[in-house]
Amino acid sequence: MTKPNTKKEGSFMSYLTTELLTSLLWGGTAANEFLRSKIEEGVNAVLKAELAGFLGYEKRSSAGWHTGNSRNGSYQRTIVTSYGKITVDVPRDRNGEFQSPLLPERKQRVDSLETTIIQLYQRGVTTRQIAELIEQMYGHYYTPATISKITADVSEQVAQFHSRPVAKRYAVIFCDAMYVNLRRDSVAKEAIHVLLGITPDGHKEVLDYAILPSESALNYADMLKSLKKRGLEQVLLFVSDGLVGLSDAVQSEFPRAKHQSCWVHLMRAVSRLVRPSDRKAVLDALKRVYQQEDAALARQELSAFLNSYRRKYKRLHKLFQNEASLFSFYEFPKSIQQTIYTSNLIENNNKGFRHKTKLKEQFPNEDSLERFACMVYCDYNRRFSGKAHRDFRKHIRNYWRCSRIEFSACTIKSLHIRLTLPPTICVTDTRFPKTVVFLF
């Protein structure tokens, strides 16, 4: 049987389809191999055309005489594509100025493959598992070391994340840490400290994170110092669990900010100090404390709660000694109190992070964990960039219309202001006696 003529007729696509069918029926060539060879031919043809356009004349044309530049042979490069490796002859010019946008320098893989690898890594797949998947999908093997090298390109993104400018004002910043397995000669759990902020417009984002051996209030203070250098000026409220010294640490950097201890963590601490048979009654009584209408009633309810269990559980009162951090959420509009009386917002974020690390028994080094955390938090910020807490936008934004006023001193009894704008009306909202509202 005679092989049919595959001479080009009609459109290129119809010709390519004919070539593919002919190759499969007569040559026994796999479709991937056929496409790989055509990609190789196409890339080489494009490179030659690009050089001709760069020089301004075709090969062996007299138009190139005395132009100051000419062809200078070629060199071979191996490129890994989705259909296998291709060998391309990259043309050169005499002056060494030609650079094809089709083939960036020092790049041996196509962007789609690198993107796939990075996305798999971002979802918690280990480098060894990625290497095996790539071999199954594309027919060529990448060592785990090569995969690590590809994902190391995220390092620039890590540096940008830690140095990017942040907003001047945040209504709330949540502070929390979680522990993951990290290898430093030996494997041990280390703390990822996270700061998550909500702007006056209600937009939330992870502001920064830091990997350190153990959670400490001083670590958060250092992170806040870094944020101040990146543009942070004012914070209304910090919310955290019961970490010792954190309230003092955050207020040392932002003296006018309030601090709120997480009531969910307080409930858990109380449940550990009472008998299982008493637990439900004790916790139900404690819930009534932070469910009161205002701070005054909540303090009365807390006093009654502690008095009723003083003899039976003497250690309970120690949990509530720092009363200044218990009821700060009452100083804010009622519509947002459900968001700020606990640290559930950042706890849910940490839960999602832990879920992504389930496939990883440990991180081989700090850089690996840095890259992984950066990709997770960049994705988090991207997903929530267009969403806002409606109640924050409605109530909190108006509290900070005084953006051009510099505070020299501010107390409940006195307020000294140096104005950089025309005279401004200053009033005190009777609903929130400690909140100063500026109206232009």
Nearest-angstrom CA–CA distance, 344 and 80 = 46
Q: What is the mean pLDDT of residues 59-78?
A: 79
Least confident of 114-118, 209-213, 319-323: 114-118
Q: Helix H segments across 257-308?
A: 263-273, 276-290, 295-308
Helix/strand/coil percent split, the chain, to 5: 50, 20, 30
pLDDT confidence tier of residue 369, bands split at 50, 70 and 90: confident
Closest among 278, 157, 177 to 223, alpha carbons compared: 177
Q: Does residue 49 or residue 372 have the better pLDDT?
A: 372
The segment with the largest mean pLDDT, out of 150-154, 166-170, 386-390, is 166-170
Sorted by sequence, the CB contacts under 8 Å of residue 179 that are 6+ apart come out as 189, 190, 191, 192
pLDDT in tens, 409-431: 333 333 333 333 333 334 444 44
Please state, as a whole number, how many other Cβ atoms lie within 10 Å of the Cβ of residue 322.
13
User: In the prediction, which pLDDT does 117 show?
Assistant: 65
Contact between 159 and 165 (Cβ < 8 Å): no
Nearest-angstrom CA–CA distance, 130 and 368 = 15
Phi then psi for 225, rounded to 5 degrees? -60, -40
pLDDT at 285 over 80: yes
User: In the prediction, which pLDDT does 102 show?
Assistant: 58
Strands (E) in 43-83, as ranges, are: 71-81
What element of type H or E holds 171? strand 169-184
User: In the prediction, which pLDDT does 24 show?
Assistant: 53
Percent pLDDT > 90 in the chain is: 33
pLDDT confidence tier of residue 157, bands split at 50, 70 and 90: confident
pLDDT at 246 over 50: yes
3-state secondary structure at position 212: strand
Nearest-angstrom CA–CA distance, 416 and 227 = 26
Least confident of 43-52, 303-312, 352-361: 43-52
What element of type H or E holds 222? helix 217-229
pLDDT confidence tier of residue 75, bands split at 50, 70 and 90: confident
The conformation of residue 416, written as its DSSP 8-state character, comes to E
User: In the prediction, which pLDDT does 152 show?
Assistant: 61
* Burial group, residue 406, by CB count within 10 angstroms (0-12, 13-18, 19+): exposed
Nearest-angstrom CA–CA distance, 240 and 228 = 19
